[in-house]
Amino acid sequence: MKILVIDDQDLVLLSLEKSLTDLGYDVITAKSVTNGILKYDNHLPDLVLVDINIPENENDVVKNNHELVSSASGLDIVEHIKVIRESNTPVMILSGNTDETIIERGFTLGAEDYMKKPLSLTEIGLRVKRLIGSGTIYKVEQESQLLQKGVIGVVIPCYNEEERLQSEAFKKFINRNLGYHLCFVNDGSKDNTLNLLNELAKGNEERISVYDCEKNGGKAEAVRLGMLHLAKDQQFDYIGFLDADLSTNFDDFQDLVTTISNSNFQIVSGSRMSRMGADITKESARAIISKTINFIIRKTLGMEINDTQCGAKIMTKEIIEKTFQTRFLTKWLFDVEIFMRMKKVYGSKEAKELICEQPLKRWIHADGSKLSMKDSVKIVGQIGQIAISYR
């Protein structure tokens, strides 16, 4: 039995194609309305799975947040099959779109099923079986795999991480969360980190990539280059960064993604200090230093940002395009520079409305991740450098 899957995001197509092929179905894929209609007419599949928001043609430009010039264009395929061709081929709509008028229109046109992302591949397989029967193979997934509402790119800067990198944790995450792509940036490591990263990516090339910086340029430059690298790929709805030591865990990071995807914020930043009982408050000397630095940063920014030193943020491509093009002045305080650049681009009032600071539920200080007293002094000097340069 043949199934036509139509979606413009490579990670979604890859996941659905592999899952349905494993169940014994013959899978055909398309990435646009035009190509989807053409492949339907040529192959006459037994079932069509189509996303709501796909481009008319594969060369169409996708806007930020994956909004298309023609919204709900996937319904054109439903109309072609059910109205123009008057076919009884079952159609299943897969989408993160929750607009009830669009859902109603899909069913009015004749769609048999509608599934809202995030959703599990196991459930998709069961619904496909209900519509057209079993494939030639029966396979039960040992672990639930999820298609997220959007496709997310995550930059992970790495410098001499051979002893700390939790390879299995990253593998487990991408195997379960199919809407994520992890880009590890090797920042001129002097140990075996690059070989370790290449081994991690082996066999997972669609979900893990390695960007190699031959020389150590600091975390700010590693993140900047990684973000610009991922921003070239149209399929990502949002792109963020996360520390390699997973001091912010995946659950908290996904909470940041949920916030930005359900709001008008352009950037959502994790915060340790804004929550009650944060680990940082347990060390009085460190807490005093951190709060003092934060006070200086808030006065410099003119914003009530509680934590600019947390290595977990998610943002739109627009922010990357407008604030990541030139090298940051500092190696550690590029978070502050992002906000300063946003103020210059959008103005102070609008910038504040585009930024969300979200408390983290968990935070750990991995070995070697704490800043020394000497580093803290350097940070104060760098804040002054930022204040003068962005004035």
3-state secondary structure of 98: coil
Conformational region of residue 246, where left means phi above 0, alpha means psi within -120 to 50, and beta covers everything else: left
Q: C-alpha dihedral over 135, 141, 144, 146, to 10 degrees?
A: -40
Q: What tokens were used for 157?
A: 């800067």
Instruction: Please report the pLDDT score of residue 99 as a whole number.
Output: 78
**Residue 152 belongs to a domain:** no
**Parallel, antiparallel or unpaired: strands 312-315 and 267-271:** antiparallel
Asked if residues 380 and 299 have their Cβ atoms less than 8 Å apart, the reply is no
DSSP codes, 322-346: HHSSS--S-SS-HHHHHHHHHHHHH
**Residue 18 belongs to a domain:** yes
Instruction: Please report the pLDDT score of residue 244 as a whole number.
Output: 93
Instruction: Please report the pLDDT score of residue 366 as a whole number.
Output: 54
**Parallel, antiparallel or unpaired: strands 119-120 and 146-147:** antiparallel
Instruction: Please report the pLDDT score of residue 171 as a whole number.
Output: 94
**Residue 222 belongs to a domain:** no
Instruction: Please report the pLDDT score of residue 150 as a whole number.
Output: 87
Sites in the chain below the pLDDT cut of 50: 61-70, 142, 274-282, 369
Total structural domains within the chain:
1
**Parallel, antiparallel or unpaired: strands 26-30 and 2-6:** parallel
**Residue 302 belongs to a domain:** no
**Residue 20 belongs to a domain:** yes
**Residue 96 belongs to a domain:** yes
Instruction: Please report the pLDDT score of residue 348 as a whole number.
Output: 93
Query: What CATH number is associated with residue 112?
Result: 3.40.50.2300
**Residue 9 belongs to a domain:** yes
Q: What tokens were used for 147?
A: 């298609």
Domain residues for the domain of 30 are 2-132
Distance CA 25, CA 13 (A): 14
Instruction: Please report the pLDDT score of residue 143 as a whole number.
Output: 60
**Residue 102 belongs to a domain:** yes
